Amino acid sequence: MNPFGPTALTLENLTIGYRSPVVTDINLTVPPGVFVSLLGANGSGKTTLLRTISRRLKPLAGRITLFDQPLKTFKALDLAKTLSVVLTDKAEVPMLRVLEFVALGRHPHSDFLGRLTDKDLLAVEESLFAVKADKLANRFVDELSDGERQKVVLARALAQNPRITLLDEPTAHLDLKHRLEFLAILRNLCRQIGLTVIAAAHDVESAARFSDLVMTLKDGRLQDFGRPEEVLKPEAIRTLYDCPEANFDSALGGLEMTPDGRAGRAFVLGGQDSAALAYRLLAKQGYALATGFFLATDLDAHVARSLGAKVFSFKNADNPPLADLLAESLVELGQCDFLVIAGDMGGFSEGLTKLKAEAKKLNIPILSLGPNGELTPLIEGLALYRSSRAA
Amino acid sequence: MEAVFNARLVTQTLAKRRNLVFLGLGLLTLALMVTNLVVGSLPYPIERIFYTLLHPQESGDLATIVWKIRVPRTLAAALGGAYLAASGLLLQVYFRNPIVGPYILGISSGATLLVSIIMLTPFGFRLTHATPFVTTIAGCLGAYAVMALVVAIAAKVQRGATLLILGLMMGYLCSSVTSVLTALAEKEKIKGFVLWGMGSFSGFKQVEIGILIVFGGGLLIAVYLLSKPLNAFLLGEDYAASLGVNIRRFRIFILMAASALAGLVTSMAGPVAFIGLAVPHMARLSFGTSDNRILIPGVCLTGAAVTSLCDLIARMWLNPVELPISAITAFFGAPIVIGLLLKRGARFS
């Protein structure tokens, strides 16, 4: 036994690859019953790592231990009873009913001819119930939708009665509803039957929401391994995907793209959550953003920051330094192409008047949202502004 | 919440339906084989044929016809059909490709090449006098030489698709040599060779039937016993490996068994088109499953029935002229497969 408690998977000084190394010197320990997401850009070695852990590929160096037993000492059938896989392969088999398909997972447990005992059938039933696909039992696998089939493919993996399941981008073909449902099923399996799940993921947001741990692969190394709340910082995501525009907000769990500002620069007066949609609209059209005045904890502040905006906010609600912020904003306004009024500045009417007056003086157009926060006036205003500038 | 389904109940219902299909197919095969014994170019009364069958020690014209001609031919057609179908099934499972047949790896081209040397060159012509089995032996050598080559390569190659292309190329190589020999051959020899190339279950000798039963039967039993790992292959090599199957060893086994079965039939009957490709589809659709534990006996019965029927037509349609078996198998078989697939498509779309 491991002196530090039970472990599902231990990788020590592991180097993986085909002939030349893809990822070198991985060291980590996964406790049992957790959902681990494996993140990394295409070609970073996610699939190679999964293939190595499932023993389809020999490690180039280092050791792998599964449940305190060295991976290479497992007998083939014992490994199949311990570890199961869900591959990216669509697993399309013509003329096979879901029940028979899932029963293929009983391979390591059934007798020489593969006859199914009552115990096997029970395991098949339970697997189908666990993924909420029991109603599909009598259907043919090749007639299922992508979402249904993926659940059935998972049920087949569960029918092996594994202690750990490796999945390679299991939600890649699924729509939002099925993706969330699938990930929720995986998480429940971790909680309820103590299954350890390691899933290569392409989607940072769902990985952040559903997994207990994430490992990130970058430039042939294990970049990070830990809780998503700690690992998935904006900077880490930017490096991981070589994507400087990406802005990951760990509090919101959402990924936003910073606008390049090619279209121009907008000053948005926000507050009271009214401006979030206006920010996204402007950012998508390529406008860099500056915004104020609100509490740093306001939703608007989060969204604006994740869009790379310059934010004029304050931390102390009782005694906001309004005068200072106003002075800074007036300078900022001078750099902007137009002013958007998407909030009342928390009732700071003096500031509002001054900013408007400054805009008039600098000949900067003023756009605004509808009385109930509707975006249409802003969209129309933007179109007008653009055509006037083009002319 | 009450259980919505019961796996045991579903399995039992499916098994019941499949047993009925087995029963029906078995009766059909039997009926076709009996018809093949009874019907021939010389019309004898049925009761006399049955009498001869039940009294093998008697002699006479009828005994000769029944025991030397009809019995071997009936058995050859049924067994040949069964083996070719099983061979096709194995390769379709291994390559996970529905349009693969037993000849995809070049088995028939190898057999044809060696047979063309016997039938078309002066060198081979001299050999023909030495033993009546010379064509069979040549076919066998050709088929198994190609098989040995493919299996040797399969041990080194990682991907099934590569192997498929290698087999195809091997087939083209053999065919090109055969074409050269055909171009150089004397005119009158060519017809015999071309007809050999379209297959026939006539002229099987008792020894050959014996070999067919013993070796082919042994191979079929081995294949059936390995239907469990074969099922794991339904999902592809990666999944099979994750289920604990030694895929390297098993890949060699599948290729060897499939080639050996097809080579056995081809060396004796010549290449018989279509059976190995189409019968697995017919069996899958009539049994409604891809489970090899059901399909292996299933394709054997279907193959025996279909080939028996085709041989009956080949013999009797333009009687007394006998048609090559490949002409019949493809002519009647292709529309049946298309019909079955379209019907299935219509039912579910």
pLDDT tens across B275-297, in order? 998 999 999 989 999 999 999 99
pLDDT level of residue B2 (50, 70, 90 thresholds): very low
pLDDT score for B164: 85
B99 or A170, which is more confident: A170
pLDDT level of residue B245 (50, 70, 90 thresholds): very high
CATH code: domain of residue B142:
1.10.3470.10
Whether residue B328 lies inside any domain: the answer is yes
Question: Are A143 and B348 a contacting pair at CB < 8 A?
Answer: yes
Whether residue B81 lies inside any domain: the answer is yes
Per-residue burial over A302-339, b = 16 or more CB atoms within 10 Å of its CB, e = otherwise? bbbbbbbbbbbbbeeeeebebeebbebbbebbeebebb
pLDDT level of residue A70 (50, 70, 90 thresholds): very high
pLDDT score for B348: 42
Q: How far apart are the C-alpha atoms of A115 and B291, rounded to whole Å?
A: 11
A164 or A352, which is more confident: A164
Chain B residues with CB under 8 Å of A124 CB are 7
Six-digit token pair at A119?
């115990």
pLDDT level of residue B347 (50, 70, 90 thresholds): very low
Whether residue B330 lies inside any domain: the answer is yes
Give the Å distances, CA to CA, from B79 to B32, B272, B304.
13, 13, 6
Provide the 8-state DSSP code for A14: E
Question: Are B288 and A135 a contacting pair at CB < 8 A?
Answer: no
Mean local confidence (pLDDT), B6-27: 89
Whether residue B319 lies inside any domain: the answer is yes
When scoring B12, B17, B243, B247 by the number of chain A Cβ atoms within 10 A, the one with the most, hence best to mutate, is: B243
Of A193-197, A233-237, A363-367, B252-256, give the range with the top mean pLDDT. Answer: A193-197
Quote the mean pLDDT of chain A. Answer: 88
What are the phi and psi torsion angles at A26 (to 5°)? Answer: -90, 130
pLDDT score for B79: 96
Question: Are B231 and A91 a contacting pair at CB < 8 A?
Answer: no
Contact A232, A209 (CB under 8 A): no
Q: Which of A89, A107, A112 sits opposite B232 (nearest CB)?
A: A107
Chain B residues with CB under 8 Å of A97 CB are 14, 288-289
For residue A163, is pLDDT > 90? yes
Return the percent helix, strand and coil in chain B, to nearest 5. Answer: 80, 0, 20
Pick from B103, B73, B75, B78: which is nearest to B91 by CA? B103
Domain that holds residue B61: 53-344
Quote the mean pLDDT of chain B. Answer: 86
Whether residue B42 lies inside any domain: the answer is no
Mean local confidence (pLDDT), A328-345: 84
Across the A:B interface, residue pairs with CB atoms under 8 Å apart total 103
For A80, the 3-state DSSP assignment is helix
The count of other CB atoms within 10 Å of the CB of residue B323 is 20
Quick one: closest CA in B to A111, which residue?
B228
Torsion of CA A369, A375, A381, A383, to 10 degrees: 170
| pLDDT > 70 in chain A, percent | 97
Question: Are B291 and A93 a contacting pair at CB < 8 A?
Answer: no
Question: Are A95 and B289 a contacting pair at CB < 8 A?
Answer: yes
For residue A220, is pLDDT > 50? yes
Whether residue B300 lies inside any domain: the answer is yes
pLDDT score for B64: 85
Positive or negative, the CA dihedral B262, B267, B273, B279 is: negative
pLDDT level of residue B349 (50, 70, 90 thresholds): very low
For residue B212, is pLDDT > 80? yes
> Kind of pairing, strands A61-66 and A69-70?
antiparallel
Torsion of CA A105, A106, A112, A116, to 10 degrees: -130
Quick one: closest CA in B to A114, which residue?
B228
pLDDT level of residue B344 (50, 70, 90 thresholds): low
pLDDT score for B23: 96
Pick from A148, A85, A100, A156: which is nearest to A127 by CA? A156
For residue A274, is pLDDT > 80? no
Whether residue B8 lies inside any domain: the answer is no
The count of other CB atoms within 10 Å of the CB of residue B347 is 7
**pTM for the full model?**
0.84
Mean local confidence (pLDDT), B258-284: 89
Chain B nearest CA to A273, separation (Å): 43
Beta bridge partners of A313: A294
Mean local confidence (pLDDT), A19-37: 94
Pick from B10, B285, B98: which is nearest to A103 by CA? B10
Q: How far apart are the C-alpha atoms of A349 and A361, rounded to whole Å?
A: 18
Q: How far apart are the C-alpha atoms of B116 and A76, rounded to whole Å?
A: 47
Residues of A at the B interface, defined by Cβ within 8 angstroms: 54, 56, 76-77, 79-80, 83-85, 87, 89, 91, 93-97, 99-100, 104-105, 107-108, 110, 112-114, 116, 118, 121-122, 124-125, 128, 134-135, 137-138, 140, 143, 160
Q: Which of B10, B235, B290 sits opposite A137 (nearest CB)?
A: B10
Q: How far apart are the C-alpha atoms of A280 and A277, rounded to whole Å?
A: 5
Whether residue B25 lies inside any domain: the answer is no
For residue B4, is pLDDT > 60? no
Chain B residues with CB under 8 Å of A109 CB are none
Number of domains, chain B: 1
Which domains are present in chain A? 9-243 (3.40.50.300), 258-390 (3.40.50.720)
Q: Which of B11, B98, B244 sits opposite A76 (nearest CB)?
A: B244
Q: How far apart are the C-alpha atoms of A296 and A313, rounded to whole Å?
A: 5
Mean local confidence (pLDDT), B243-255: 90
